[in-house]
Amino acid sequence: MAMERSQEVALIEAAAAGCRDSADRLIRAYQGSLYAYLLRLSGRPDVAEDIVQDAFVRVLANLDRFDPRFRFSTWLFTIAKRLFVNASQKFKPVYDSEIVGGWDGDAQSPSRPAIESEFRGSARDSIGRALLKLSVEQREIILLFHQQEWPIAQIAEYVGMPEGTVKSHLHRGRKRMRRFFEQELERPAEWAMNEGAVERA
């Protein structure tokens, strides 16, 4: 839901003053995009749901610290990303030979947090699997640019990288995804089936 900046600031001020309705409107304005981002980032609906809830609770509990010169979405997504990183570290490694063995070219190691593997195992749609072929940095930049439609400058601020590096990640990420789809084309039936599944979802 697009929201005017002035309207957003007014909602934040009211929510900071303890207005439940304003907090509710803020949640409804951003929960969809945050959930979609985390779902694609993690590949797991349950993880995305938990992080969305936790991120909103933290942000709303500390609204008086919000600096209105910055974007609320950047702050919210930053908190969510930290929670995602923390969550991924809590998962114990799972050595699923079928899952891990099925991935190539991604510098896998058994010590890599198993949430990655778990995410991969649960990602059944092609785009989800293509995303999970990417490094976390590439994945989040692809998502922020193509899914959240953030401008490059905002992404650079969010990930703490120069804009050129962000673009480089973007290009490499897309190239990697293309390569994945080329391989998928060799299995057209599965591709079609998975595409259909995504659309139904």
Partner 1 sequence: MTDPRGHNPDLPRDGRDESLDRPSLEDLVDAVFDNELPADQSEDVHARLRRHPDIARDAVMTRRALESLRRPVSTPDLSGSILDALDGKRPMQGGDVIGRLRVWRYAAAAALLLMVAGAFTVQRMSPEVTHLVGTPEDRPMGTLAATLPVVTEQTTRDVLRAVDEIQLAVTDATFVNVAGPEPRPVTLVSHCDRVRTSDGWFECAATGGETSVTLRLCDTHAGGIAVRGFAPAWATMPVRSERAFRVVAIVAEETSEQPVLYRVTTTDASFEAWAGEASVYRAGVVSGVQPVTFEPRPQERSLISLDRLPR
Contact residues: partner 1, CB under 8 A:
14-15, 17-24, 27-28, 31-32, 35-36, 39-40, 49, 52-53, 56-57, 60-61, 126-127, 130, 142-143, 146-147, 149, 152, 167, 170-171, 174, 177-178, 181-182, 185, 195, 198-199, 201
Q: With CA atoms as reference, report the closest residue to 78 among 9, 164, 140.
A: 140
124 vs 82: CA distance, rounded Å: 25
Residue number, 14 or 94, with CB nearest to partner 1 = 14
Closest distance between partner 1 and the C-beta of residue 94, in Å? 25
- 113 in Cβ contact with 85 (< 8 Å): no
Closest distance between partner 1 and the C-beta of residue 187, in Å? 14
Residue number, 96 or 195, with CB nearest to partner 1 = 195
Residue number, 29 or 100, with CB nearest to partner 1 = 29
| Paired tokens of 126 | 């092609």
Closest distance between partner 1 and the C-beta of residue 154, in Å? 14
Handedness of CA 161, 164, 167, 172 (dihedral sign): negative
Residue number, 152 or 161, with CB nearest to partner 1 = 152
Residue number, 87 or 143, with CB nearest to partner 1 = 143
From residue 116, how far is each of 43, 99, 197 by CA, in Å?
Answer: 9, 10, 22
Run of H or E including 57: helix 45-61
Closest distance between partner 1 and the C-beta of residue 48, in Å? 9
Contacts of 114 (CB under 8 A, 6+ apart): 91, 92, 93, 94, 95
